[in-house]
């Protein structure tokens, strides 16, 4: 869409918004953009469907050679991206729903990296004890193996950076053999780190205070903040576990990589009570470096998801939740229909009720609307809060399996940057 057409569309939308025919819209219209990519490159010719609050079509654009599409929208509409992923005996499709978009949004699906992955790089590490697992991590690459010599994956344009190397036992759970960090490594040729040494993890303490119910279980682990990202020891070596009946006020020692830092990331999962609903709550927060971390579980106000989400033929997603406050909803629901498998990825604001309606697509895309007879399966359903609320989460990448593997973390860590940031979710334990 060129500049002239953007200006004309904005003028028309302003006139429409001021006419009184579209109640509830707050704010001026503006450009909403999307970029769609996978580790194989930018997705070209996917359909980006821009809808107003009443599901009327604002524009339908095809993604260009850079995976981009855009349109001028009023606040509060929806963006739906439809992609026929591949053919064959079964068709596989993806439908990405973003509800409650705002002018100025630049939504990333799959990542902002420059197209395809780059050639792998041979890496040689110092030898750890027998039965060791080795892992290498960079901001734009990584890999793991059962021996000190292997190949590292990297994304296109990933030519240099810091490398964090860690090792642990493949036999004894949580047995950490140490780690080290090497700055400014050239990734364009073979990497020989065999002269480095694994350094044992440092010690810090962690406390959960008087908040676990007797039959409630929790696990928690720490990583450190570095310019290379959030770094933790192998085998979740920085992990500790709690059972309310045994550790209602316990202080446990945890281990972190031997890297100078003033910032810790603490990731705590609460599994609910034994014998209760299979539901979890997760708290990820950034704190100043401390030897006495505490978390008052009673202050976590996220609702429990008491019944998993379901999708009906009207396009309504419903679930059952307990008391508390959430800011956003994220889901992945798979629809099996004839020879088609439709993967539906959805992000929406939480509106204070346990139901939301997917936008209805126009006639030429009606196949992708929920229909009678669909066989729907919920892969994940998450309620959450984050720094910046839904405005932040809406524009985060959908980390596909490759990106999450290479970077060694999920997209939720991207919302936790500054000391004091806290990301909280509630979901069924899939």
pLDDT in tens, 86-112: 656 678 899 999 999 999 999 988 765
DSSP code, position 7? H
> Which phi and psi (to 5°) does residue 257 adopt?
-60, 150
Q: 227 pLDDT exceeds 90?
A: no
Average pLDDT over residues 228-235: 74
Supply the pLDDT for residue 18.
41
Nearest one of 417, 416, 408, 411 to 165, comparing CA atoms: 408
pLDDT band at 25 (very low <50, low <70, confident <90, very high): low
Supply the pLDDT for residue 399.
45
pLDDT band at 290 (very low <50, low <70, confident <90, very high): confident
For the stretch 171-224, pLDDT in tens is 877 688 999 999 999 999 999 999 999 998 887 777 766 567 666 777 778 888
Supply the pLDDT for residue 15.
42
- Report strand pairing: 316-321 vs 117-124: unpaired
Helices and strands counted in the chain (H then E): 3, 30
**Whole-number Cα distances in Å, 143 to 35, 136, 138, 229:** 27, 5, 9, 16
For the stretch 138-181, pLDDT in tens is 877 888 889 999 888 887 777 899 999 999 888 877 688 999 99
Rounded distance between C-alpha atoms, residue 230 and residue 215, angstroms: 31
For the stretch 59-86, pLDDT in tens is 999 999 999 999 999 999 999 999 987 6
DSSP code, position 274? T
Average pLDDT over residues 316-342: 93
Between residues 29 and 7, the one the model is more confident about = 29
Please name the residues in contact with 147: beta carbons below 8 A apart, sequence gap of 6 or more: 134
Tokens found for residue 73 = 């929208």
Average pLDDT over residues 239-265: 72
- String of DSSP letters for 63-127: --TTSEEEEEE-TT-EEEEEEEEE-SSSEEEEEEEEES--TT-EEEES-SS-SSEEEEEEEE---
Rounded distance between C-alpha atoms, residue 279 and residue 56, angstroms: 37
Average pLDDT over residues 124-143: 88
Supply the pLDDT for residue 116.
61
- Report strand pairing: 229-231 vs 149-155: unpaired
| H or E segment and range at residue 393 | helix 390-394
> Which phi and psi (to 5°) does residue 419 adopt?
-60, 130
> Which phi and psi (to 5°) does residue 403 adopt?
-65, -45
Average pLDDT over residues 336-358: 92
Supply the pLDDT for residue 377.
94
pLDDT band at 370 (very low <50, low <70, confident <90, very high): very high
Which residues does residue 182 pair with via DSSP β-bridges, in sequence order? 163
137 and 408 Cβ atoms separated by less than 8 Å: yes
> Which phi and psi (to 5°) does residue 14 adopt?
-60, -45
Rounded distance between C-alpha atoms, residue 112 and residue 101, angstroms: 19
Rounded distance between C-alpha atoms, residue 279 and residue 226, angstroms: 32
Over the chain, what is the mean pLDDT? Answer: 82
Least confident range of 123-137, 158-172, 399-413 = 399-413
Nearest one of 46, 20, 25, 35 to 103, comparing CA atoms: 25
Tokens found for residue 169 = 């036992």
Q: 278 pLDDT exceeds 80?
A: no
Between residues 66 and 297, the one the model is more confident about = 66
The helix/strand/coil state of 180 is strand
Least confident range of 248-257, 366-375, 414-423 = 248-257
Q: 295 pLDDT exceeds 50?
A: yes
């Amino acid at each position: 869409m060129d500049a002239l057409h953007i200006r004309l569309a904005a003028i028309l939308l302003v006139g429409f918004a001021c006419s009184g025919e579209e109640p509830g819209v707050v704010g001026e219209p503006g450009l909403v953009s999307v970029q769609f990519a996978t580790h194989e490159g930018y997705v070209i010719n996917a359909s980006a469907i821009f809808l107003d609050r009443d599901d009327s079509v604002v524009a339908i654009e095809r993604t260009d050679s850079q995976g981009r599409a855009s349109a001028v929208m009023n606040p509060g509409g929806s963006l739906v991206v439809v992609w026929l992923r591949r053919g064959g005996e079964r068709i596989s499709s993806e439908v990405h729903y973003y509800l409650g978009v705002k002018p100025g949004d630049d939504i990333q699906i799959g990542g902002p990296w420059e197209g395809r992955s780059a050639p792998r790089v041979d890496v040689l590490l110092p030898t750890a004890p027998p039965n060791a697992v080795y892992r290498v991590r960079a901001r734009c690459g990584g890999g793991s193996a059962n021996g000190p010599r292997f190949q590292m994956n990297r994304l296109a344009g990933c030519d240099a950076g810091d490398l964090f190397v860690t090792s642990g036992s493949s036999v004894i759970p949580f047995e950490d053999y140490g780690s080290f960090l090497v700055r400014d490594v050239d990734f364009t040729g073979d990497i020989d780190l065999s002269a480095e040494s694994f350094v044992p993890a440092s010690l810090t303490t962690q406390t959960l205070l008087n908040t676990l119910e007797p039959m409630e279980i929790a696990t928690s682990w720490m990583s450190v903040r570095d310019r290379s990202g959030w770094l933790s020891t192998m085998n979740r070596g920085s992990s500790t576990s709690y059972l309310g009946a045994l550790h209602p006020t316990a202080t446990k020692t945890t281990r972190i990589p031997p890297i100078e830092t003033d910032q810790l990331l603490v990731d705590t999962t609460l599994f609910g009570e034994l014998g209760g609903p299979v539901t979890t709550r997760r708290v990820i927060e950034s704190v100043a470096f401390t030897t006495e971390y505490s978390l008052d579980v009673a202050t976590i106000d996220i609702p429990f998801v008491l019944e998993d989400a379901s999708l009906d033929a009207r396009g309504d997603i419903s679930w059952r939740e307990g008391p508390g406050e959430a800011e956003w909803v994220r889901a992945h629901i798979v629809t099996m229909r004839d020879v088609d498998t439709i993967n539906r990825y959805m992000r929406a604001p939480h509106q204070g009720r346990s139901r939301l309606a997917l936008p209805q697509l126009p006639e030429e895309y009606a196949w992708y609307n929920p229909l009678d007879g669909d066989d729907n399966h919920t892969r994940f359903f998450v309620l959450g809060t984050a720094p910046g609320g839904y405005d932040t989460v809406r524009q985060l990448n959908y980390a596909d399996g490759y990106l999450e593997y290479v970077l060694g973390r999920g997209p939720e860590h991207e919302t936790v940057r500054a000391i004091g940031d806290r990301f909280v979710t509630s979901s069924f334990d899939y």
